[in-house]
Amino acid sequence: MKNISSNVQPLVQGSDFLDSEIVVIGSGPGGFPTACMLAEAGRDVLLIEEGAFLPQSSSRPFSLEEMETKYRNGGVTFAIGKAKITYVEGCCVGGGSEINSGLYHRTPEEVLVRWSSEYMVKSLNYEILEHMFAENENELNVGYLPGEAPKASVKLQMGASLLGWKSMEVPRAFRYDTPYQPDRPKGTRQSMTEIFLPRFIKAGGRLMPNSKVLKLKKNSGSAGWDVQSLFMFEKGVKRHITIRAKTVFAAAGSIQTPVLLRRSGIRHNIGNSLRFHPTIKVVAEFPEKVNSMEMGVPVHQVKEFAPKYSFGCSISSLPYISLALLDHPAQIGGIGEKWENMANYYCMISGGKGIVRAFPFSSDAVVRYSLDEADLCTLSDGLRELCLLLLKAGAKALYPTIVGAPVIRKKEDLILIPRPLPADRANLMTIHLMGSCPMGEDTARCAVDSFGKVHGTDGLYINDASILCDAVGVNPQGTIMVLARRNVLNFLN
């Protein structure tokens, strides 16, 4: 990967202006496949990424170091609202694919039907997309575990089975080393830098990391765009660069894409319909060890009550367990001795709606997200069911992420979980951001057409999670990538 930095530096040292037929902004699960497919089709492509290139070997997966170096704001960004919701964005080459668990879902068919009908999206039926899903899955090596699941994951499956609820193992974009070891699975996360970066460079694509796009401006001299960027050299030296492009694909994510477009004066239905999967967590403590420094990603989810709410087991490394226990300070002191008996579990819903705005006189975003009382009641109901499942699986203590919440030790304690969840005390989070610039032919509510072209604007496309019409109800990376592939093929044809 040495050719990345060596190719970038000469690009910007000699001139304040660059030219490229196509500029792709953002290198996550929308941006990198977009840039790669275009480059492999023979187009001149420059891929711009705000974050640095940090290979997977630069930090232990799901460690504090990874959070500090690959997450925006260290992973602590808040949406303003009655209920506090922390959301997570990747900020590095590869975007969210470099930090997520790699769990993979195809878009539920009923969601595609709803989007086609309610938002007037063309060519979105499952038959058209099926082979594209398969191509993405083949490229990402999506598959099931080659052996036993981590103990924390099995606990979720066990509790669901004892209650007669539907659970499933979710396939993952991961290449396991052989032989497979259940207690310490080794391998490589199949992120954008692993899969698409080598192909992109080989096809002649140019990558510019450490460069934040500040504004898009219509080029008055010719058809196209001036992409105004701030490039960060080593040792903190900054330089303003303008890239002249015929076509721009914005793929910076559901927060940064609408902020950029609104800052550029493009506002029609931009940033007005942000959707989250609001999530509440509970730390479960078991009599036996279920966790370790080498534990793999938990892969089971419970879909018995979907789409109302879903359960899963999330990343449970020591830093993540510690964060989840902040609402139970009495437990923090002894965490080092018993965290291997603990794991993080979550209840996820699809409720609420938000807006994204550009912060005045700044490149930062202002995000507001509203949950009504019905949403908070749904979260409370789901949390109670999740706690019942974990007690059934043998948990001896449960610690919900609610300030001042009691410890749940038996079924009779479930009544102590408030309904609705108290908006001022419930610590909610999400890693799934989508829908801020929805696609479709309904111009009264959609920001882009059925294939990502911004309504009323030539040469400008969005190709990331922003264009999902609303909350997809499952891990969205599979949906993001299949839409990116579909839209690029439409553009090339």
For the question of residue 300 being annotated catalytic, the response is: no
With contact defined as beta carbons under 8 Å apart, do 163 and 385 qualify? no
Q: How many domains does the chain fold into?
A: 2
Distances (CA, A) of 190 to 3, 63, 144: 21, 18, 14
For residues 255 and 108, membership in a common domain is answered with yes
From 105, 300, 432, 455, the catalytic residue: 432
383-431 tens-digit pLDDT: 999 999 999 999 999 999 999 999 999 999 999 999 999 999 999 999 9
Residue finishing a domain among 431, 448, 469: 431
One domain, residues 257 and 357: no
C-alpha closest to that of 49 among 173, 192, 174, 188 = 192
Other Cβ atoms closer than 10 A to 322: 16
pLDDT of residue 11: 55
In whole angstroms, give the CA distance from residue 130 to residue 265: 37
* 432: nearest Cα among 386, 400, 479: 479
Looking at residue 29, its pLDDT comes to 97
* Domain boundary pick from 431, 450, 473: 431
Give me the percent of the chain exceeding a pLDDT of 90. Answer: 81
Do residues 111 and 20 both lie within one domain?
A: yes
Query: Per-block average pLDDT, block size 10, for the chain (493 residues)?
Result: 46 72 98 98 97 90 88 89 93 94 95 97 94 97 94 96 96 91 85 96 96 92 86 79 96 97 96 97 96 89 95 91 89 84 96 93 88 97 98 97 94 96 95 97 97 96 98 96 98 94
Amino acid 62: pLDDT: 82
CA distance 449 to 462: 10
Claim to verify: residue 6 and residue 20 sit in the same structural domain: yes
Question: At which of 431, 458, 473 does a domain end?
Answer: 431
State the SS3 of 398-418: EEECECCCCCECCHHHHHHCC
Residues 423 and 459 in one domain: no
pLDDT for residue 14:
54
pLDDT score, position 223? 79
Range of the domain at 203: 1-53+96-141+190-271+434-493
Q: Is residue 179 located within the same domain as residue 205?
A: no
Tell me: do 368 and 406 sit in the same domain: yes
Q: Provide the pLDDT for residue 427.
A: 94
**251 and 288 assigned to the same domain:** no
**For 300-347, how does the pLDDT look when each residue is reduced to its tens digit (9 = 90+)?**
999 999 999 999 999 898 888 998 998 998 887 778 789 999 999 999
The mean pLDDT value of the chain amounts to 92
E runs forming strands in 192-277: 206-208, 211-218, 225-232, 238-250, 275-276
Contact indicator for 173, 481 with CB cutoff of 8 Å: no
67 shares its domain with 41 = no
**Both 475 and 393 in a single domain?**
no
Does residue 388 sit in the same domain as residue 454? no
Q: Are residues 371 and 410 in the same domain?
A: yes
Per-residue pLDDT, 235: 67
DSSP 451: T
Quick one: pLDDT at residue 232? 81
Cis peptide preceding 29, ω within 30 of 0:
no
